[in-house]
Amino acid sequence: MIRLGVNIDHVATVRNARGENYPDPNKAALMAKKSGASSITIHLREDRRHITDKDLFKIVKLKNIRVNLEMAPTNKMLKIALKAKPNFVCIVPEKREELTTEGGLNLDKDNFRIKKIIYCLKKKGIRTSLFIEPRIQDVGKAKKLGADCVELHTGKFCNLYNLNKIFFNEFIKIKKAAKFANIIGLEVHAGHALTYQTAKMIKKIKNIKELNIGHFIISEAIFVGLKQAILNFKNVLK
Ligand code: PXP
């Protein structure tokens, strides 16, 4: 079965909206694990708008929970990651003014730094993934930089699907990129803007081993609870 990584950033978003100490992302991580999440994803953004350094260092200490840290490719973030030692890192592009991660990494612009970051993380036994657009060229570049995995950006596909527009081309791009990544020895993940319906489509791509889902799970949790939202996804991914 395809693995489900649960992104709990927006538990921290709600907490920070009032400057209180609840809801607690730590508690969400424990509940997500209990409900069947394979891993917990947190994004330590440069502006710390949701997850904070304190959250990160607390969550990585939880027993039997695999933590996937999303981070921008900067030396500052690398230092933090090497200190926190999450199980996995996913390198993502980051713009301060964006509402969420808008696209995949530009592997031409930051290639030297990304290569160095991957090298340092892997040396410490941290599985490293690159968040990229579903493009064959980018998959090839990720491999050359030494990544273990690629996470394919599903945002465009999901947006088209949600707007009832033609999504077939985007779906095929994801499928082809996933297949090629597998052929050249990369593990394939996917994520961004996934819902029950779009996750159901993406799970049909057999080369994809893991989905990372956040906003929709936390949104659903308002109505059905976090545990039930995760169980619903587990059902979808069966
Ligand atoms: N994967 C990556 C690399 C991301 O940056 C995000 C957003 O933080 C997600 C998955 C989850 O996206 P969403 O919150 O839209 O489910």
pLDDT digits (tens, 9 = 90+) for 16-54: 999 999 999 999 999 999 999 999 999 999 999 999 999
At 96, the pLDDT band (50, 70, 90 cuts) reads: low
Pocket lining for ligand 1, CB < 6 angstroms: 7, 9, 43, 70, 90, 92, 100-101, 131, 151, 191-194, 212-216
User: Residue 233 is encoded by which pair of tokens?
Assistant: 């996804």
Write the pLDDT tens digit of every residue in 131-140: 999 999 999 9
Q: How far is the CA of 169 from the centre of ligand 1 (A)?
A: 21
pTM attached to this predicted model: 0.96
Q: What percent of the chain has pLDDT over 70?
A: 100
Domains delineated in the chain: 3-237 (3.20.20.70)
For the segment 105-130, the average pLDDT, to the nearest whole number, is 95
Residue 95 pLDDT exceeds 90: no
Cβ-proximal residues to 104 (8 Å cutoff; 6+ apart), any chain: 93, 130, 131, 132, 133, 134, 135, 138, 152, 153
At 62, the pLDDT band (50, 70, 90 cuts) reads: very high
Q: What percent of the chain has pLDDT over 90?
A: 95
CA-based radius of gyration for the chain: 17
Q: How far is the CA of 125 from the centre of ligand 1 (A)?
A: 23
Cβ-proximal residues to 54 (8 Å cutoff; 6+ apart), any chain: none
Active site amino acids: 43, 70, 192
